[in-house]
């Protein structure tokens, strides 16, 4: 008979993604007949564009259905490098690129290839859930750097610098940020790049939401002069082309790092799905107007969500500058048995059937994440319910 002690210790260093836990509970209630408004999903509500779908059908019809190189086909690596060059002016070549099974896979593998026990990894707060788990799984320590919600959660180089030690191995940059939608100033990112060069640490820039920017010019830290030996990029087609289920991501970085990841991938997933690779080539090299159309729609929703949240008494909501998440402070509703955003989210789901992700998942205690990658109709319904829920708690709090 096996006992729980038989599990490898490293598996206890990680936990199930809490964003998935909320979605699972919402799903359970929905199956029981509840009319759920779901703001928890971090994925576009748009369909994958037709030209991309057609490329996948063609791949199947042409029997492109076998193993490929474990790191992806050359044509796709070229398309990734070309797209990155067009969008940001970088000069990566295929040997500095690997195709992965989604962006999360690229991040996991990069962490396995670069960090180890004794290393410190700097993570700005609020952070995307997965970062701390993949750092822990690699045996390194997380060093969390707080940002200020009154400044819209932006990261400044001075905040990073304060936490750099001789053990600092890597700094994670995610701008636009999940969950806050913050976009870090280019000047600050340049200072962080210079710091990485001076102090000899890696930067991992997670460019998941790079194409969803509401103002300013697109910028990749990989263009900073002389940074190429200190930077790795994790990218994904999931959000940009509404392809979450296709599982295509990539990493760009020095060829030695890419070779290291390729070893790992060759013994774990092998190649990303051949058919999805063909679709990804079309996504990256074909017309880009679907991305602009999605961005325009997200902007409309962002404006609506922020305005609507600000109408709720006591709720503080900064304006996201990218991605598709709002991250309001809901502590005004911490009354009548609610003292954390986790309890807030649980009660909001149980009483009003609105699913949001509690801030604890992202390292803060007073916020919840609302994904506005859902229709205006759902946003209206859900925010009306949230308004009612918070207003009711405030009036009972005043009476208490
Ligand atoms: C910040 C961030 N990075 C990376 C990913 C990975 O996306 P995927 O694995 O679907 O490509 C996500 C997905 O939610 C994300 O929010």
Q: Atom 7 (ligand 1): residue with closest C-alpha?
A: 103
Place of tokens 């999903």: 41
Which pLDDT tens digits describe the chain residue by residue (400 residues)?
566 668 888 888 888 766 667 778 888 999 999 999 999 988 999 999 999 999 999 999 999 999 999 999 999 999 999 999 999 999 999 999 999 999 999 999 999 999 999 999 999 999 999 999 999 999 999 999 999 999 999 999 999 999 999 999 999 999 999 999 999 999 999 999 999 999 999 999 999 999 999 988 999 999 999 999 999 999 999 999 999 999 999 999 999 999 999 999 999 999 999 999 999 999 999 999 999 999 999 999 999 999 999 999 999 999 999 999 999 999 999 998 899 999 999 999 999 999 999 999 999 999 999 999 999 999 999 999 999 999 998 876 554 4
The structure tokens listed for 367 are 């916020």
> Which of 208, 245, 327 best tests ligand 1's pocket when mutated (most atoms within 8 Å of CB)?
208
Give the position, in ligand 1's atom list, of the atom nearest the Cα of 174. 1
- What the chain holds in terms of domains, given with CATH numbers, is 4-34+290-393 (3.90.1150.10), 64-285 (3.40.640.10)
Distance from residue 142's CA to the centre of ligand 1 (Å): 19
* CB-ligand 1 contact for 177 (6 Å cutoff): no
CA atoms within 13 A on the CB side of 319: 11
Contacts of 80 (CB under 8 A, 6+ apart): 92, 97, 99, 235, 250, 252, 284
Helices 18-31 and 341-352, packing angle to 10 deg: 20
Q: How far apart are CA 376 and CA 399, in angstroms?
A: 35
Q: Which residues are 38's β-sheet partners?
A: 355
This prediction has a pTM of 0.95
> Which of 44, 236, 243 best tests ligand 1's pocket when mutated (most atoms within 8 Å of CB)?
236
Distance from residue 123's CA to the centre of ligand 1 (Å): 16
Closest CA relative to residue 96, chosen from 84, 104, 86: 84
Q: Which residues are 37's β-sheet partners?
A: 354
């Amino acid at each position: 008979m096996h006992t729980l002690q038989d599990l490898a210790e490293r598996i206890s260093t990680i936990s199930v993604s809490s964003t998935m836990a909320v979605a699972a509970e919402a799903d359970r209630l929905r199956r029981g007949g509840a009319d759920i408004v779901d703001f928890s999903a971090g994925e576009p509500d748009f369909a994958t564009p037709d030209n991309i779908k057609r490329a996948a059908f063609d791949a199947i019809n042409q029997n492109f259905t076998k193993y490929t190189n474990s790191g992806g086909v050359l044509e796709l690596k070229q398309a990734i490098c070309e797209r990155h060059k067009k969008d940001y002016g970088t000069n990566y070549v295929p040997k500095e690129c690997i195709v992965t099974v989604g962006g999360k896979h690229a991040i996991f593998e990069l962490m396995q290839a670069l960090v180890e026990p004794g290393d410190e990894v700097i993570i700005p707060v609020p952070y995307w859930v997965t970062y701390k788990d993949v750092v822990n799984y690699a045996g390194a320590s997380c060093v969390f750097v707080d940002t200020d919600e009154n400044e819209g959660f932006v990261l400044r180089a001075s905040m990073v610098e304060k936490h750099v030690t001789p053990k600092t191995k890597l700094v994670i940059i995610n701008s636009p940020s999940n969950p806050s939608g913050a976009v870090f100033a280019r000047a600050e990112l340049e200072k962080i790049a210079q710091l990485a060069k001076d102090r000899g640490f890696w930067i991992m820039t997670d460019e998941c939401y790079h194409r969803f920017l509401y103002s300013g010019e697109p910028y990749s830290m990989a263009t900073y002069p002389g940074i190429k030996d200190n930077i790795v990029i994790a990218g994904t087609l999931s959000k940009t082309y509404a392809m979450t289920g296709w599982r295509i991501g990539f990493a760009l970085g020095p060829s030695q790092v890419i070779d290291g990841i390729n070893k790992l991938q060759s013994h774990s997933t092998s190649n990303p799905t051949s058919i999805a690779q063909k679709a990804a080539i079309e996504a990256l090299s074909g017309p880009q107007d679907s991305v602009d159309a999605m961005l325009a729609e997200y902007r409309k929703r962002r404006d609506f969500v922020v305005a609507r949240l600000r109408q709720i008494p006591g709720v503080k909501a900064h304006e996201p500058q990218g991605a598709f998440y709002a991250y309001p402070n809901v502590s005004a509703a911490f009354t009548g048995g609610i003292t954390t955003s986790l309890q807030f989210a649980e009660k909001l789901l149980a009483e009003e059937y609105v699913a949001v992700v509690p801030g604890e998942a992202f390292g803060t205690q007073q916020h919840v994440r609302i994904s506005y990658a859902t229709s205006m109709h759902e946003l209206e319904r859900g925010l009306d319910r949230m308004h009612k829920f918070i207003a009711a708690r405030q009036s009972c709090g005043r009476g208490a």
